[in-house]
């Protein structure tokens, strides 16, 4: 099974074409007609992605998305009918992953569902992989690498923890400096390079071939996802 899709749409004919197209492609799909039913279904926790109509009888799709975002970061695709709705979806930071305009081709919707789910699962995998290698114990201020504790200075610990919080994200030296000192610091940004060098040496002591810290020339550093 490819995943479970929740369709929130009060028009049966539209929901039907989507259900048909999704099930044809091996998706499990559920259909509800109101925002309240949608919230109940999402709360159960078996949904992988939501296709959300903006014009719903009990709440509009924008409000519903806000409610969903209170407790869930599920991917959401909006179905929009009017150009005013499209403007809001495109123009505002409302936390939707994509949108399609009515009338739409169900196959197009299914294609987007696939793209988004693939992206989400890659991100999850990346986070999972780095978490397997690294273990951060914030209370004890210890990072373990492949099960062994690293002997880090305070600055090195904060730096590594910051990088590990978002595997794959490139942090600039300035951002890393601020994570250490909490405020813009007058010391040279090259200090970061020195700390990174020290961290790398400590990682290599544990695994000679380990190179989890990536240098991005002119940009900064990241942890390899």
Minimum gap (Å) between residue 7 Cβ and Ca ion: 11
**Would you say the C-alpha torsion 35, 40, 42, 47 has a positive or negative sign?**
negative
Minimum gap (Å) between residue 76 Cβ and Ca ion: 16
Which CB sits closer to Ca ion, 10 or 67? 10
* Packing angle, helices 12-24 and 106-133, rounded to 10: 60
- Residue 55 binding Ca ion, by CB under 5 A: yes
- Residue 17 binding Ca ion, by CB under 5 A: no
Which residues have a Cβ under 8 Å from the Cβ of 161 and sit 6 or more positions away?
136, 138, 143
- Residue 53 binding Ca ion, by CB under 5 A: yes
Burial-class residue 132 by CB neighbours within 10 Å (0-12, 13-18, 19+).
exposed
| Site size toward Ca ion, by CB under 5 A | 3
Token pair recorded at residue 189: 């940004």
Which CB sits closer to Ca ion, 31 or 134? 31
Residue nearest to Ca ion (CB): 55
Which CB sits closer to Ca ion, 55 or 168? 55
CB 10 within 8 A of CB 53: yes
- Residue 16 binding Ca ion, by CB under 5 A: no
What character string, x for contact with Ca ion (CB under 5 A) and - otherwise, covers 189-208?
--------------------
Which CB sits closer to Ca ion, 58 or 193? 58
Token pair recorded at residue 85: 């709705």
* Packing angle, helices 154-165 and 190-206, rounded to 10: 80
- Residue 62 binding Ca ion, by CB under 5 A: no
Point out which residues bind Ca ion (CB under 5 A). 10, 53, 55
């Amino acid at each position: 099974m490819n995943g479970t899709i929740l369709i929130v749409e009060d028009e049966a004919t539209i929901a039907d074409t989507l259900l048909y197209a999704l099930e044809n492609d091996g998706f499990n799909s559920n259909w509800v007609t109101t925002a309240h039913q949608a919230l109940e279904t999402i709360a159960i926790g078996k949904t992988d992605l939501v296709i959300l109509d903006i014009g719903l009888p009990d709440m509009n799709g924008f409000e519903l998305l806000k409610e969903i975002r209170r407790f869930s970061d599920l991917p959401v695709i909006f179905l929009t009918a009017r150009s005013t709705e499209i403007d809001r979806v495109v123009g505002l930071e409302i936390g939707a992953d994509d949108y399609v305009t009515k009338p739409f081709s169900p196959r197009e919707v299914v294609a987007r569902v696939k793209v988004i789910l693939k992206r989400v699962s890659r991100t999850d995998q990346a986070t999972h992989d780095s978490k397997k290698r690294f273990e951060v114990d914030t209370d004890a201020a210890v990072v373990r690498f492949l099960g062994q504790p690293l002997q880090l200075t305070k600055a090195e610990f904060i730096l590594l923890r910051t990088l590990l919080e978002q595997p794959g994200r490139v942090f600039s030296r300035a951002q890393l400096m601020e994570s250490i000192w909490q405020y813009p610091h007058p010391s040279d940004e090259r200090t970061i390079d020195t700390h990174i060098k020290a961290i790398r040496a400590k990682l290599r002591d544990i695994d000679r071939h380990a190179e989890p810290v990536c240098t991005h020339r002119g940009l900064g550093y990241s942890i390899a996802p």
